Structure 1
Amino acid sequence: MTLQLDWNNEQDKHEIQDAWIVKLTELLQLAGEAEGLTTGEVALTFTDDEGIHALNRDYRGIDRPTDVLSFAMQEDGADELDIIFEVEDESESDPLSGMLGDIIISVERAQLQSEEYGHSLEREIGFLFVHGFLHLIGYDHQDETSEAEMTAKQEAVLSQAGLTR
């Protein structure tokens, strides 16, 4: 198995181009390779500001839209609920073991940010996707050092994929 990208579109403001999915799949492979991760599944959802606002409010307690949200399946936080599943055959493995998590991107917010930063929408979506992926595998940016590390990793992957500013 390799790193796999599954995606869906829950917004109608921007067409999701096939070329974006190809590029996002490439970014997933490059980011995974950089982190020594060769297998797993990432679920990506494209939404709008209204959709991501609701998720941000309901899951993070922040009552405003954001650009990207990540929900890691492999987190062991104290506030995380245990996922319980039943198997009929003891030889069956955990059906979620390969699932890294969900990334939700507001295409509406990405469009605004791409204009603000003066680069393509494809580059902004790529940036948000890699940012979300790094969160799925445990990176965070709570202080200057961790933010600098995350930024460097994001830019390295984007550069490899030809998504420069």
Structure 2
Amino acid sequence: MASVDLTLEWNNEQTVKDITPELIAKLEELLQFAGELEGVSEGEVALSFVNDEAIQELNKHYRNMDKITDVLSFAMSENGEDELEIHYEEAEAGEENVGDSDSFIEPLGDIVISVPRAIAQAEDYGHSFERELGFLFVHGFLHLIGYDHQSEEQEKAMFAKQESILQRAGLTR
């Protein structure tokens, strides 16, 4: 299998639950497993942990739904009518890169997770917070790379992939 070089950048904008280094390491592991399964060999995923109020505001602003949700995904590859198309140019041989000495990593998109929703759903489903957070993160990642669940068939396929990735990482119910 090809090498996977997916990067997770994250920030914590909530105070309900401590986001530990171990939890981030598990999410990074899930990202690698999902990338391998889906043939996504490189890219960057930005993850934000927020409270219910923040995710409700984002849901209202971007989806015109004034309600709390558990996870939102904003894919960089989707270009709607009102979105700007961004082109990245690689430096030609012999040219110096401007800015970082590191090579540019293509952003796949942003995932936003409501930590209070993840806590409540973990309790409702009778499994750990880590499993619920992993489920929401993988769900968001699959949306970033083009999966959807508008039909029952799509939903079954997407949820089967999520379960496979979670099982591989040891995040069982």
TM, length-normalised to structure 1: 0.91
* 1:35-59, Cα deviation, whole Å (9 max, x unpaired): 0111000000000101100000001
Q: Residue 80 of structure 1: CA displacement?
A: 2.9
Q: Is the 8 A contact 2:79 2:85 kept in 1?
A: no
Q: Residue 3 of structure 1: CA displacement?
A: 0.3
Match of 1:34 in 2: 37
Tell whether 2:109 aligns with 1:101: yes
Which of 116, 124, 128 is 1:116 aligned to?
Answer: 124
Aligned partner of 1:52: which letter?
I
Tell whether 2:29 aligns with 1:6: no
Tell whether 2:25 aligns with 1:22: yes
Larger radius of gyration: 2
Between the aligned partners of 2:141 and 2:118, the Cα distance in structure 1 is 16
Between the aligned partners of 2:168 and 2:17, the Cα distance in structure 1 is 26
- 1:34-53 correspondence runs (5 A): 34-53=37-56
* 1:11-48, Cα deviation, whole Å (9 max, x unpaired): 01111011110000000000000001110000000001
Aligned partner of 2:107: which letter?
M
Match of 2:172 in 1: 164
**Aligned residues between the structures:** 162
Structure 2 spans left out of the alignment, 5+ residues: none
Q: Which runs of 4+ in 1 moved over 4 A?
A: 89-93
Structure 1 spans left out of the alignment, 5+ residues: none
Q: Is the 8 A contact 2:119 2:129 kept in 1?
A: yes
